[in-house]
Amino acid sequence: MRDHGGNLDEAQARWGQGDWVDLSTGINRQPYPVPRLSPGAWTSLPTASATAALMEAAATAFGTAAPGLAMAGAQAAIQMIPLLDRPGLARVLAPTYNEHAACLRQAGWHVEEVARLEELSGADLAVVVNPNNPDGRTCRKESLLSLSVGRLVVDESFADSVPAESLVAKASDRLLVMRSFGKFWGLAGLRLGFVYGGADVIRRMSALAGPWPVSGPALEIGRMALADRDWRDKTVRRLSGEAERLDRLAASAGWIQAGGTLLFRLYNTPNAQQAQGALACHHIWTRRFPYSGTWLRLGLPGNEGEWQRVTAALGTPGAVDAHLP
């Protein structure tokens, strides 16, 4: 099932329009302040020099000299990677972001979802989301590099706050590494992401992507944001404190932490569907998963007003249960 967070239309259809706090994604709700753009970013076709400037900023921010390609979000890479090789056996470390398996199946791959890292061995193509969505699980770099697979795809969409976990500096034709821009920088609507690999595979992906895979505004905003080290460091510190704050609120409602990253937290609840509905009555939207009756994932509120609304909805121990239908 290709369900996703950000499906606020569904919440509004059931619980009504109004001022919603959408915590159903792992997108930073205090986004990078969009700078004033040059007129040409809007009126001219994206240039090779603008693309090169973005890629230079990205290489510095991510700490890699590997060949890379900017794309319209990491999702574009997820959809393209299954087309690089003749379909065979793909294994995905699960549970995880469901688009990886879905796109592989759509391209004709036989997909097996496995629960342990070592079970990926022997696959023609293996996928690991690291840190993982939705539970924040991380895999040691040495363990990933030692896997016996044809091609390894590592999705690092949530790695910006844990750069030491990244394999992007090791990217090669055998190891493809994806990075997201919209999540940590909070500008998901910009549709910007990156994939890194060897020169040959990046050349092939560039040919598939076409001449202008990223818009002019995305090139310019991305370049400035990725170069802003001060904003990034301050954001990591803020998110660290706020993740602990949300954990305390969840504990007061009797929920048990099941994992997470600095952009989202995952909790075990007595009943995820009922807990999601209880918060939706307060126009707070969260993410539950079709394969778990207890997991509920929440992004971090974006300002003090949102924090107050979440605090009021969760309340004291048992408050969520008290609102259940």
Q: Over the stretch 246-281, which tens digit does the pLDDT of each residue have?
A: 999 999 999 999 999 999 999 999 999 999 999 999
State how far the alpha carbon of 196 is from the alpha carbons of 84, 148, 161, in Å. 14, 20, 19
Are residues 189 and 312 both part of a single domain? no
Q: Let me know if residue 171 belongs to a domain.
A: yes
Mean pLDDT, range 310-317, rounded to an integer: 82
Are residues 14 and 60 both part of a single domain? no
Q: Using an 8 Å Cβ cutoff, are 116 and 144 in contact? A: no
Are residues 15 and 49 both part of a single domain? no
Mean pLDDT, range 162-182, rounded to an integer: 97
Mean pLDDT, range 204-222, rounded to an integer: 97
* 159 pLDDT tier (thresholds 50, 70, 90): very high
Are residues 266 and 210 both part of a single domain? no
How confident is the model at residue 91, as a pLDDT?
98
Q: Let me know if residue 221 belongs to a domain.
A: yes
State pLDDT tens for residues 273-304.
Answer: 999 999 999 999 999 999 999 999 999 999 99
What is the extent of the structural domain holding 97?
39-227
* 313 pLDDT tier (thresholds 50, 70, 90): very high
* 86 pLDDT tier (thresholds 50, 70, 90): very high
Query: Which of 227, 243, 263 corresponds to the end of one domain?
Result: 227
* 1 pLDDT tier (thresholds 50, 70, 90): low
CATH at residue 257: 3.90.1150.10
Distance in angstroms (rounded) separating the CA atoms of residues 114 and 92: 6
Q: Let me know if residue 1 belongs to a domain.
A: no
178, pLDDT greater than 50: yes
How confident is the model at residue 77, as a pLDDT?
97
How confident is the model at residue 324, as a pLDDT?
47
How confident is the model at residue 320, as a pLDDT?
65
How confident is the model at residue 151, as a pLDDT?
98
* 325 pLDDT tier (thresholds 50, 70, 90): very low
Give the number of domains in the chain.
2
Are residues 157 and 172 both part of a single domain? yes
How confident is the model at residue 319, as a pLDDT?
57
How confident is the model at residue 321, as a pLDDT?
64
Are residues 201 and 238 both part of a single domain? no
Q: Let me know if residue 47 belongs to a domain.
A: yes
Q: Let me know if residue 165 belongs to a domain.
A: yes
CATH at residue 207: 3.40.640.10
Query: Which of 175, 197, 227 corresponds to the end of one domain?
Result: 227
Are residues 140 and 89 both part of a single domain? yes
Q: Where are the beta strands (DSSP E) in the chain?
A: 21-22, 68-71, 89-93, 110-114, 125-129, 151-155, 175-180, 193-196, 256-260, 264-268, 284-285, 287-288, 295-299
Are residues 119 and 207 both part of a single domain? yes
Distance in angstroms (rounded) separating the CA atoms of residues 84 and 173: 11
317, pLDDT greater than 60: no
Q: Using an 8 Å Cβ cutoff, are 265 and 250 in contact? A: yes
Percent of the chain beyond pLDDT 90?
Answer: 96
Q: Let me know if residue 66 belongs to a domain.
A: yes
This prediction has a pTM of 0.95
Are residues 247 and 203 both part of a single domain? no
Are residues 44 and 193 both part of a single domain? yes
Q: Let me know if residue 3 belongs to a domain.
A: no
State pLDDT tens for residues 39-58.
Answer: 999 999 999 999 999 999 99
Mean pLDDT, range 131-135, rounded to an integer: 97
Mean pLDDT, range 2-27, rounded to an integer: 94
Q: Which of 204, 188, 218 is nearest to 41 (CA)?
A: 218
135, pLDDT greater than 70: yes
Are residues 142 and 94 both part of a single domain? yes
Q: Let me know if residue 274 belongs to a domain.
A: yes
24, pLDDT greater than 70: yes
Query: Which of 200, 227, 254 corresponds to the end of one domain?
Result: 227
Q: Which of 219, 218, 231, 229 is nearest to 30 (CA)?
A: 231
How confident is the model at residue 2, as a pLDDT?
80
Are residues 206 and 157 both part of a single domain? yes
